[in-house]
Amino acid sequence: DAGVTQSPTHLIKTRGQQVTLRCSPKSGHDTVSWYQQALGQGPQFIFQYYEEEERQRGNFPDRFSGHQFPNYSSELNVNALLLGDSALYLCASSLGQWKYEQYFGPGTRLTVT
């Protein structure tokens, strides 16, 4: 049973560029949440996707957007990258929008130079 997978593992981008991160949820899960974890901090909730729609959103600007596909996989897009966007981006999946038992992927380390 595959757990949550994320790609790529590491990514280096330049300020102003755009980036797309990908997540495949644990088998059987239909809800995907994205978190940003800056160095030395806890994860911060970006948004959650359920039934291909954004259902919840944290305090992140519109530069952060996402998508969920019919197979429940998800993408996180960040436009106009800033140095402060450098972080570990974590994807978590769960079965159902209101279920708190989330399974996290290993994350994508984004470095913006």
Partner 1 sequence: AQSVTQPDIHITVSEGASLELRCNYSYGATPYLFWYVQSPGQGLQLLLKYFSGDTLVQGIKGFEAEFKRSQSSFNLRKPSVHWSDAAEYFCAVGATNAGKSTFGDGTTLTVKP
Residues that bind partner 1 (CB under 8 A): 4, 31, 33, 35, 40-45, 48, 50, 55-56, 58, 90, 92, 94, 97-107
Phi and psi at residue 11, in whole multiples of 5°?
-155, 135
Q: Which is nearer to partner 1, 58 or 67 (CB)?
A: 58
Min. distance of Cβ 17 from partner 1 in angstroms?
24
Q: Which is nearer to partner 1, 44 or 65 (CB)?
A: 44
Min. distance of Cβ 70 from partner 1 in angstroms?
20
Q: Which is nearer to partner 1, 20 or 103 (CB)?
A: 103
Q: Which is nearer to partner 1, 71 or 98 (CB)?
A: 98
Q: How far apart are CA 58 and CA 61, in angstroms?
A: 9
Min. distance of Cβ 45 from partner 1 in angstroms?
4
CA 14, distance to chain mean position in Å, is: 19
Burial class (CB within 10 angstroms; exposed 0-12, middle 13-18, buried 19+) of 18: exposed
The full length of the chain comes to: 113
Which stretches within the chain are classed as H helix?
Answer: none
